[in-house]
Amino acid sequence: VEYPDLVVVGAGLFGLTVAQQAVEHAGARVHIIDVRDHIGGNAYSYFDEETGAEIHKYGAHLFHTSNRRVWEYVNRFTEFTGYVHRVYATHDGVVYSLPINLGTINQFFRAHYTPAEAQALIEEQAGELAGTDPANLNDKGIQLIGRPLYEAFIKNYTGKQWQTDPAELPASIIKRLPVRFNYDNRYFKDTWEGLPKDGYTKWMERMIDDPRITVSLKTDFFDESQPYNKKALREAGVPVVYTGPVDRYFDYELGDLKWRTVDFKEVRYDEGDHFGCPVMNFSDADVPYTRAIEFKNFNPERREQQNPDKTVVWEEYSRFADRGDEPYYPINTEADKALYAQYEAKAAAEPKTVFGGRLGTYKYYDMHNVIDTALTAYEQQVAPLLAAEAAK
């Protein structure tokens, strides 16, 4: 093969952003590989034929940002709907709005507290563990918002997320539990939010719609039978942007970084709308899943194209990830952080290779963070690498 100027491993938002920038600013020829059979990484979505719902294959994705550079960048490739994210929760047979706000509090206590009264009540209830330094998440939760609200909305949900009794989890997992003393139940506080008008995949296809960018799917960087593999590219001295798992790159030689994953169970209903909202959390232990996503309801502006008599819901089951699972949320214990620091040092020393994205840097990043770090990585690391090669 004749190698391109740059090989990008991973067609997620990090890799696509770097590829787009390399063409735009350096006129580079870029080849992207991905082991999956589609581009888009975890932000990929597809349209469900029966219902017309846009299904986010790797879990619900809501775009939000306060970063002007990122907002202007993404708007070059897609328009956004006016979607505003709101979440509801079922507890003890009653539906409440989240995050915990004055509406949640007044409904829960069957009261009509003013903001000041509600604040005084929560402080009093949180005082149960005042002056202590809780080591476990359960006591920390009680100390932050009081036992009644903690036990109703946080305890069992968190237990399901971690598949662990919160009394056995470290308090460090939660620093604060936001409570709003007004009726604002808008989930994100960012300046801009919305969903890509014609879907996530169309957005990401447009990012790389240029003859200088080519893509190979179902292509594993570590498979030496295909030309764009680690060993061959290293020998040929081709610059690489790597967005796969950093521990995998080094053959797990220092040990495995730990992740949580989510299993999705698809359920179909013969009705137009099952929950009346896109996201329903289940706060109690008797429902085994944490939350359910009803994808049709993310896009009410598409009602005309959706099936009025059918809907599709994905229930989410959270658990610790093994090597073969999709790594979703870094667990980030002190041991994980120390191990990542060692891998990070090895990554920095790797010639002509830039590590990025959530897997390559072992970070939980929202989409806007990934795009922002990719724009910066292009400027600070990839552009100089391409310039040095071009000067040879």
Q: Which is nearer to ligand FAD, 97 or 219 (CB)?
A: 219
Of 205, 336, 344, 350, which lies in the binding site for Na ion, with binding defined by CB under 5 A?
350
Q: Which is nearer to ligand FAD, 114 or 191 (CB)?
A: 191
- What dihedral do alpha carbons 137, 85, 374, 220 form, nearest 10°? 80
Output DSSP code: residue 61. -
Q: Which is nearer to ligand FAD, 8 or 171 (CB)?
A: 8
Give burial (CB, 10 Å; 0-12/13-18/19+) of 95: middle
Helices 367-377 and 13-26 cross at an angle (nearest 10°) of 30
By rule CB under 5 A, what string of x and - marks binding of each residue 220-249 to Na ion? Answer: ------------------------------
Catalytic hit among 176, 235, 251, 334? 176
Per DSSP, the three-state class of 271 is coil
Q: Name the CA radius of gyration of the chain, rounded.
A: 23
User: Which stretch, 47-55, 128-136, 152-160, 347-355, contacts Na ion (CB under 5 A)?
Assistant: 347-355
CA distances (Å), origin 2, targets 55, 209, 232, 352, 384: 38, 21, 12, 18, 22
Give min distance, CB of 23 to ligand FAD, in A: 17
Q: Which does 41 bind (CB under 5 to 8 A by kind): Na ion, ligand FAD, none?
A: ligand FAD
Of 353, 361, 369, 373, which lies in the binding site for Na ion, with binding defined by CB under 5 A?
353
- Whether 269 sits among the annotated catalytic residues: the reply is no
Catalytic hit among 180, 247, 249, 340? 180
Give min distance, CB of 283 to ligand FAD, in A: 19
Distance CA 221, CA 242 (A): 9
Q: Which is nearer to ligand FAD, 53 or 105 (CB)?
A: 53
Q: Which residue has the tokens 């359920």?
A: 267
- Whether 49 sits among the annotated catalytic residues: the reply is no
Give min distance, CB of 282 to ligand FAD, in A: 17
Give min distance, CB of 371 to ligand FAD, in A: 8
Give min distance, CB of 101 to Na ion, in A: 45
* Residues at the contact surface with ligand FAD, assessed by CB under 6 A: 9-15, 33-36, 41-43, 58-63, 220-222, 243-244, 262, 328, 357-359, 365-368, 370
- What dihedral do alpha carbons 37, 41, 42, 48 form, nearest 10°? -40
Give min distance, CB of 351 to Na ion, in A: 7
- Whether 180 sits among the annotated catalytic residues: the reply is yes
- Whether 364 sits among the annotated catalytic residues: the reply is yes
Distance CA 303, CA 37 (A): 29
Output the six-digit token pair for 114. 């003013």
Q: Which DSSP string corresponds to 79-146?
A: -B------EEEEETTEEEEES--HHHHHHHTT----HHHHHHHHHHHHGGGTT----BHHHHHHHHH-
- Whether 316 sits among the annotated catalytic residues: the reply is yes
Catalytic hit among 5, 291, 372, 378? 291
Distance CA 99, CA 129 (A): 23
Q: Which is nearer to ligand FAD, 108 or 328 (CB)?
A: 328
Which residues are the active-site residues?
176, 180, 260, 291, 316, 364, 366
List residues near Na ion by CB under 5 A: 350, 353
